[in-house]
Amino acid sequence: MRPHLSSREWHDHYLRNAASLLPIPWEAGAQLTAEEERAIVASLRAWQLGETSDGRHLVAAAERYATAIADPDFLAAVRLFIREEQRHGEMLGRFLDMHGGGRILRNWGDSVFRWMRYCLPNMEIWTTVVIAVETLALVYYRAILLATENPLLQAICRQILRDEVHHLRFQYERLALICAGRGTCAWWLTLQLQRVLFFGTTLAVWVDHHRALSAGGYSFSQFWHAAWKRMEFHWRCMRQDTASNMTAQNPRDHQPSRRFDDQNRVDQVPTVAPPVRA
Ligand SMILES: [Fe+2]
Ligand SMILES: [Fe+2]
């Protein structure tokens, strides 16, 4: 089994990733066809808002958690994770500015998820919500990639997809660690609550973004199937991690799922190398 990445190694991964970004052809411009405009611009604005946050509440939750488990590197890794999300927001924002019409400051879906995270400020809630949203982000950005022929927007989507695959592993490894001490019943209950959250989140994303998803080739049933297939995969990885973590003495000793590296082949997400040890 490939050794797991410690918080320090995740920190180093984020640094290396920031130094090896894909080329983004800003010179290609942000022109869209009328059909693309109708299908995806409003949706992109909402998603851009979701990618934009100063991360204050997450930093506060991560700080408490890192102190409790005596792992300051975790906080450093979370700060770099937030920076990557902000980079996604900046890229999408710059694209929308170039396209014209600008950005939005409010969206109902974004408000709901911010409220959930802010009202329940612990790492388990944060990671659970982030895993649900990022799982759907993999489907969403793939849809946008297929919905447009604009090379700039396609390059932005590829970079985001490349980053998000690692975000998911970073988050679900952590959630597996947090849940490691739970018995079968407690784990079952945790999973049911996560299913309820994911059900609602998936439905909300379809309601708000069905035009863009449809333009990318997803009918409702295809979107639903793709989303749950991904999420079931992450749950299986988490369960596997949780089982191995139950025997770990130290949070840093946990073992990740060996199946993570197969994730890129699950649903034709653009291939990306896994994080590696320094
Ligand atoms: Fe993102
Ligand atoms: Fe992300």
- Domains with residue ranges and CATH for the chain: 7-265 (1.10.620.20)
DSSP conformation class of 269? P
Q: What is the pLDDT of residue 242?
A: 63
pLDDT digits (tens, 9 = 90+) for 72-92: 999 999 999 999 999 999 999
Of 247 and 55, which is predicted with more confidence? 55
> How far is the centre of ligand 1, averaged over its atoms, from the C-alpha of 59 (Å)?
16
pTM above 0.75, yes or no: yes
> How far is the centre of ligand 2, averaged over its atoms, from the C-alpha of 185 (Å)?
30
Ligand 1 ion: Cβ-proximal residues, 5 Å cutoff: 51, 85, 88
Q: What is the DSSP string of 73-123?
A: HHHHHHHHHHHHHHHHHHHHHHHHHHHSS---S--HHHHHHHHHHHHS-SH
pLDDT digits (tens, 9 = 90+) for 220-253: 999 999 999 999 998 888 877 666 654 444 444 4
Average pLDDT, the chain: 85
> How far is the centre of ligand 2, averaged over its atoms, from the C-alpha of 167 (Å)?
5
Of 188 and 262, which is predicted with more confidence? 188
Choose among 106, 203, 92: nearest CA to 141: 92
Of 272 and 18, which is predicted with more confidence? 18
> How far is the centre of ligand 1, averaged over its atoms, from the C-alpha of 108 (Å)?
18
**268-276 long-range contacts, CB within 8 A, separation 24+:** 268/142, 269/138, 269/142, 269/161, 269/165, 270/145, 270/158, 270/161, 270/162, 272/161, 272/162, 272/165, 272/166, 274/166, 274/169, 275/5, 275/9, 275/10, 275/13, 275/17, 275/166, 275/169, 276/13
